[in-house]
Structure 1
Amino acid sequence: MKRLMFCVVVLFVGICHAMSQGWDLESSVFENSAEEQLFLDDPAPMDLLMALHASENVETAQLDRLIEKLDKRSKKKAYTEWFLGEVFYKAHQYVLKEYVKHSSFNDALETGVYDCVSGSAIYGLLLDRYGFEYEVIETDYHVFLLIKGEGDKTYVFESTEPRAGFIKDQEAVKQYISVFNAAVANGKAKQLAELGSVASQFTEENTIYASISLRELAGLQYYNDAVHHFNEGDIEMTYKQLAKARTIYPSERVTSLYEYIAAVQEEGKKLAGR
């Protein structure tokens, strides 16, 4: 009986610790207290998206204006194709202003600078708000969205194409998807170079075409930032970003790069100790 009570107490303490601390990450991996706070207490996807290069006060005025505009038009949401067009093009009008590789979700909110990850994240949040069924598709070098319409219809949101990125013609949709499926079938990645890459051993051996959640997309944003720092030669920052990426989204490529960087750091410590 005492053993049972002890186990229950230990389990309870463990649960309380997990609830209060969020994921088991050392404070040293966070850039600042704002980022650390966003990781606590079972964060929502938007919290995790805003955590990368977090600041105390992120300006969301443009997103708020966009949502206000779309909320009014959502009364006509039954006209699915029309309303999806409103979502796609209004987002570019109000929030997504300029494509810049390796920009963050917060960059999109504050300055309108975005990439395929942050652009897709904005769209995912909007589609959630208006009750659409959709998938975030992760490939080796790119992210886009597939939205389920009426009947068998599927639509594409390609965030990096402001004018032609809402693909609604069903043959064009099939053709767009087939490009990525062909890459998987042939074992070759399509070199769009929007998501980060560091070496063929991490990106080409296993081509990727996967449906992921917004939470996992936040992890992919950290991975992307880690690769950026790796390519800049900043191993310490690479490790910190990968630790957070792996916590949110422990995919094969995130874990592979994390283990590689951890090994590099360990070897560096051994050499420094000689």
Structure 2
Amino acid sequence: MKGWVLICFLPVLALAQDAQVMPASSTSFEHYVFLYSTTGLKVSTAPADALPFFVERLTSKRNDFRRDKDFVEYIFTKTHRRFLKNYIQYSSFSDLLNKGDYNCLTGTALYALLLDHFSIPYRIIETNYHIFLMAETSDGEVLLEATDPAHGFTDSKAEIEKRITTYRQNATQKDTRNKRYYYFSFDLYNVVNLDEVLGLLYYNHAVIAYNNHEWVSTIDYLEKASALYQSPRLEEFSRIVLLSIEASKLDASLKENCVKKIQSVRKRKMEMVANVSY
């Protein structure tokens, strides 16, 4: 099975990941920034210095706003101007912090971390090909769309309903240049937490590794993703990977090893789902 697996949030080229070493003491914010920043990297690297200074500046401005909604809009605007500069499908969270390259997953992840840091209630909502945020303020709900710098902050109930309806249609724009597309057989509209976002970051690395026929890396990333998030997309994608490896021209022994590993990932996932159901 050849071709491209399409998903809205795509990562950079996958690299084998060594064990990461967490800082000795860190806040929840620093903890997740570190984890998100080091997915796919061979060597652990500290997050960019710019982010802590940026958070300090946001903190110093918070009391200037009487309404939480206005502060959330300030976060949205300032964050986009400072970090979300270039929409690049093939970009990582580390690229976002260091180069300003982002996609809908990494941009949403950063907004979620900031809202979490400032104790503003929020929901991260995942659909088939997109992910976005809903923030709860004392002045009502607002929608944050990371890929829309001009109109990504929305507090109009009518506009929020319109956008959510569009997201739930699970449509995506095609780029047909030398690509084949796979469309999922399910309809996702899930609320995910910060750990599950980490799983999606690993999943994206698996997708790009698959598109480059890097079977070992694909399976390694799928293992990491499935340990963090039990999602229909992982089940369906692991099936695609299995069929692709079986149809590949890999060396017989390597193919056998890869098949066993992906079957183990699928079996473990089914066991975890069964245990949860029980």
TM-score, with length taken from structure 1: 0.74
1:253 is matched with 233
5+ residue gaps, structure 1: 1-28, 184-188
Q: Which amino acid in structure 1 is aligned with residue 228 of structure 2? A: I
Distance 2:62 2:102 in 1: 25
**1:58, distance to aligned residue in structure 2 (A):** 3.4
5+ residue gaps, structure 2: 1-13, 23-27, 257-278
Give deviations 1:179-219, integer Å, cap 9, x for gaps: 123x2xxxxx211579xx9623xx1x211111101110111
1:126 to 114, 135, 154: 114
1:235 pairs with 2:215: yes
Count matched residues. Answer: 232
**1:221, distance to aligned residue in structure 2 (A):** 1.3
Give deviations 1:125-161, integer Å, cap 9, x for gaps: 100111111111101111110111225x211110111
Are 2:15 and 2:217, in contact at CA under 8 Å, matched by a contact in 1? no
Give deviations 1:82-141, integer Å, cap 9, x for gaps: 101110011012222111003111111111111111101110110011111111110111
Are 2:40 and 2:202, in contact at CA under 8 Å, matched by a contact in 1? no
Larger radius of gyration between Structure 1 and Structure 2: 1
**1:46, distance to aligned residue in structure 2 (A):** 3.3
Q: Which amino acid in structure 2 is aligned with residue 252 of structure 1? A: P
1:176 pairs with 2:163: yes
Runs of 4+ in structure 1 over 4 Å off: 262-271
Distance 2:15 2:210 in 1: 17
Q: Which amino acid in structure 2 is aligned with residue 207 of structure 1? A: D
Q: Which amino acid in structure 2 is aligned with residue 31 of structure 1? A: A
**1:247, distance to aligned residue in structure 2 (A):** 1.1
Identity %: 27
1:79 to 48, 55, 67: 67
* Structural mapping, 1:125-144, within 5 Å: 125-144=113-132
Are 2:91 and 2:102, in contact at CA under 8 Å, matched by a contact in 1? yes
Are 2:15 and 2:40, in contact at CA under 8 Å, matched by a contact in 1? no
1:31 is matched with 16
1:161 to 135, 148, 173: 148
2:182 to 173, 188, 199: 199
Are 2:84 and 2:101, in contact at CA under 8 Å, matched by a contact in 1? yes
Are 1:62 and 1:95, in contact at CA under 8 Å, matched by a contact in 2? no
1:91 is matched with 79
User: What SS class does the counterpart of residue 68 from structure 1 fall into?
Assistant: helix
Distance 2:132 2:20 in 1: 28
> Please, what is the CA RMSD of the aligned residues?
3.1
2:269 is matched with none
Q: Which amino acid in structure 1 is aligned with residue 87 of structure 2? A: Y
User: What SS class does the counterpart of residue 124 from structure 2 fall into?
Assistant: strand
